[in-house]
Structure formats: structure tokens, C-alpha cells
Amino acid sequence: MRIIEDVKIRLSALWAAAMLNGLMGGMLELFEPGLIEQVIAGEIAGIQITSEMLLFMAILMVIPPIMVFLSVTLKEKANRWANIILGIVFFGFGLFELTEKITQPYFLVSGILGIVFVVLIVWYAWKWK
């Protein structure tokens, strides 16, 4: 029982760390010259900001805090697979974002750290018996 609780706590903590790291990266991005003006104009890097895009981003942003909770409450089998699947999904998004913003040193740190967090999530969930 203790091993199960340890894995659940580790997974929950990793989701919390990934979430806070993502928020930090987003906050730092707001300091980039010209970004606020683009947001006010309704377009970022030539991409129109739409309600559908904002909905998609909102869904992505609520997954980590939900996983913080679910990682300590779900039964083992569902917990394991939820962490593996969502960890892989977030790994893909992390790689995509990293390739898009690789020239910005602050994002390189934040992006790599975010990828490390989700790789650890998948690793712990995969190892979990």
C-alpha cells in the first residue's frame, strides 16, 4: 500500500510542478516586446486569436490541475493509464512548443524542464506495477 501511495504522490507532485512551470513560461512570455500589442490586436505571430483557440488552450491548461487531484484519487489501473496517455500528449505539445520558441533562452529552460516533468510522469506511471 505504501508503494502505491508514494507513486500517487510523486505523480501528483510532478503534475503540479509541470503546471507551475508552464505558468512561469507563460508569464515570462508576456514580457517579450510587442506581444501585448499582438494580443490586443487579436493576433499572435500571424495567427488569429479565436474563441475556439482559447477554448482549446483552456482545456489544455485545466488538465494538469485535474491530474494533480486524479493522481491521488484514481484507482491504480486507471491512474497509471491516465498518466501515461496524458504525459505522452503533453510531451508532444512540449516538443512542438520547444521547436517553435527554441531561440528564446528563458523558454529553452522552461521548455526542457516541462519535458523532463512529463517524461518523469510517464516513467513513474510506466514502472508502476
Residue 104 contacts by C-beta under 8 Å, 6 or more apart in sequence?
Answer: 32
DSSP 34: T
**pLDDT-above-70 percentage for the chain:** 97
Mean residue pLDDT across the chain:
92
Confidence of residue 105 (pLDDT cuts 50, 70, 90): confident
How is the chain split into domains, by residue range?
A: 2-34+62-127
pLDDT digits (tens, 9 = 90+) for 77-96: 999 999 999 999 999 999 99
Say which residue, 46 or 78, is predicted with more confidence. 78
Q: Is the pLDDT of residue 1 over 60?
A: no
Alpha helices in 43-75 (DSSP H): 51-73
Q: What is the pTM of this model?
A: 0.89
